[in-house]
Amino acid sequence: MASIRLIVGLGNPGPDYAATRHNAGFWLVDLLSRQQHAPLRAEGKFFSLYGRAGELHLLEPQTFMNASGKAVAAVARFYKIQPDEILVVHDELDLPPGAAKFKLGGGHGGHNGLRDILSALGTPDFWRLRLGIGHPGHKAEVVNFVLKPPRKEEQDAIDRAIDHALDVMPDVLAGRLPEAMQTLHTRAK
Tell me which residues are annotated as active site.
Answer: 22
Q: How far is CA 35 from CA 29, 85, 132, 169, in A?
A: 10, 20, 22, 10
C-alpha to C-alpha distance for 50 and 41, rounded to whole angstroms: 5
Give the residue from 34, 35, 52 showing the smallest Cα distance to 43.
Answer: 52
Q: What angle do CA 181, 54, 160 make, to 5 degrees?
A: 35
C-alpha to C-alpha distance for 166 and 35, rounded to whole angstroms: 9
